[in-house]
Structure 1
Amino acid sequence: MTDPLYGEDPEPSELSPAGLLYVPVRPGPSARATRLFRTPLGRRTAVGFTSERRLVATLGSEQAWIRLAEPALRALTAPLGVTTVTVNPQFTAPAPAPVGATPAEPVPAPALRAG
């Protein structure tokens, strides 16, 4: 059996793959674990970047990463109920402070001068 040609197939058999991605990871108990993020609406999503430059611009140079193909990233996160992969997000918010942590002092705005 041969795979259908995508130009002739109204519904391709695969989702449009993003290819090899730079995937943010964190240390785990026995190995690295894929970092999961939340969309603006609060749904969990796996994240991948098409270049190291894009990952560093969004998450910083200290962020550890591994290379994974999009189907592999989906396969790793599906058992966790994560079905969305976001490619090249451009905005991230800082993690919330732990419960009971003292909030940082606000930085005062510069004084306006009359001129």
Structure 2
Amino acid sequence: MVSCSHHEEDVLKRLRRIGGQVRGLRRMVEEDTYCIDVLTQVSATTRAPRSFALQMLDGHMDTCVRTAVAEGGEDGDLKLKEARDAIARLVRSWPLLDHARGGRGAAENPCTVGPADRAAPRPWR
């Protein structure tokens, strides 16, 4: 079985960066930093794990899944199912994608309101 060790240093580097961003948020709050500046950093910090997840998925598809499918048999089918399930979990865990699909909170998504609704914008919750 192939593991993540082929790109372990890059993975660890990204995780250290994410940890640094979270520590930076903590420091900003402790130092009573202006709220908007903290929120800007929160936005960057929430994108980092998504980028990390996509990198992990890409590496997995490129190595583990490709190898298992090339070898054939049940392992290839299992790896494909695992990848599909992982992608589904990622998509469900990203709220903006949920809004785009018409899931929870879609009524407040400005991309889904009709022309009549645009005259009076609704507040975000």
The TM-score with structure 1 as length reference comes to 0.19
The TM-score with structure 2 as length reference comes to 0.18
Q: Greater RCO between the two (CA within 8 Å, min separation 6)? A: 1
